[in-house]
Amino acid sequence: MYTYLLSRNKLISGIIFSISLCFIATVVVAQYDNYNFRHFPQEELMPIESAYAQGLDNYASENWSDCIKFIELSLRLHRLLKDSVTYCIRNCNASHVQLQEPVMASSTGDMQIFWRILMRASCLKKCRMHFPALSLPYPRKEVMDDFDNRLPYRYMYFAYVQTDDLQKALASAHTYLQRNPEDPVMTRHMNQYKREFDLEGALIDHEERPYEVSFLKAVTLFNSEDFSSSISHMEQALSQYLQQYSLCQAMCHGACDADLPQTKDLYPTLADAYVDALRCEVKCEENLMPNVGGYFVEKFIATMYHYLQFAYYKLNDARSAAPCASSYVLFDPEDKVMRQNMLYYQSYREQWGLDDHSFTPRVEALRYYNHTTLLKQMLAFAENYLQSEVG
């Protein structure tokens, strides 16, 4: 009567494998152990690009201890920059810059928009004065891409190997592979270690995000048929993911490409900055996609709703299951199995006590779907019709 998607079963088996490697109780001293957003050591403040370059220079000269020192510092500086930008963006979003607009004889739409831009810029400027990292030169896009792709951990892996620190080398390799599972060299190295050593306690992801931990815990409980506990952790994972997505979006508006073309034209300049932020926002989904057992969980938010609707169903809670099914269909409307599940709920709506509202997506799912869809449409429009402005 109720059909479960085969591809999800494949996903579950991969998650079980990953859990045996990832959920381990050990301590590896790492670059973030003494990190404090509010109390970053003054003597360590320097441009990210400078610290990273010194690390790579020492890597090239095989000065492994200084290579590790400066690359770890660059990772802390990168996190400090992200935390500082995110704090200021969130602070100004929360305040909404509740200042009275000036009284003008004729307040046009353009003037009102420009006033809001000025007030927001003023809020951000005041906030940034309190964070030293934001007064340092902003890294070039290529450098930021290296950090987003976790390339520093690849260098650190080889440096740790040269210093015979296998535990830290494995943690660096695993952190890198979580973002780059198809790297043939690193995959070959990791597979060799797995054949030769017991890796329990070594495979730690230094960049692991809270929702990934909650998601894996939820799937573990799902597989043990503890559906009630699984729901609790999956709902937590969903909430944490949406929060992280919001932070990613905020970071985009505080990290537009610093190399905008010099021009005296206001609107093309604004368009360049906004399109750069749009590209960053659209990429948030990809950047936040978790890696489980060496494979990225595509349509991650839909996957969470899939697990939720099945778990709620197993607890005979169709009032909660049906909206999760409707939410899933938003992101994968051609899924025949979920369509059958929806028909099942509709066929037995009286027995389950369901009404029309039960077959609408959950509020946060609809909001997320509409937002991501609009972002992609706006970016497509910009790239198709504003090419002369955005290059």
Q: Does residue 99 have a pLDDT over 90?
A: no
- Give the pLDDT band (50/70/90) at residue 124: confident
Q: Where are the domains of the chain?
A: 1-24+206-391, 42-196
Inform me whether the pLDDT recorded for 3 exceeds 60.
no
Q: How many CB atoms lie within 10 A of CB 125?
A: 12
Mean pLDDT in residue range 98-107: 52
Q: Cα Rg for the chain, rounded, in angstroms?
A: 24
Residue 11 has pLDDT above 80, yes or no: no
335: pLDDT confidence band, cut at 50, 70 and 90?
very high
pLDDT, residue 160, reads: 97
Which range of 65-69, 88-92, 270-274 scores highest in mean pLDDT? It is 65-69
pLDDT of residue 106: 52
What confidence category does residue 342 fall into, taking pLDDT thresholds of 50, 70 and 90? Answer: very high
Q: Is the pLDDT of residue 314 over 80?
A: yes
Q: Are 175 and 32 in contact (CB under 8 A)?
A: no
In this predicted model, what pLDDT tens digit does every residue of 292-312 receive, in sequence order?
Answer: 988 999 999 999 999 999 999
What is the per-residue pLDDT across 205-250, written as a single tens digit (0 to 9) for each?
999 999 999 999 999 999 999 999 999 999 999 999 999 999 898 8
Whole-number average pLDDT of the chain: 84
In this model, does residue 376 exceed pLDDT 60? yes
Contact yes or no for 119/97 (Cβ under 8 A): yes
- pLDDT of 261 reads 52
Mean pLDDT over 280-284 rounds to: 95
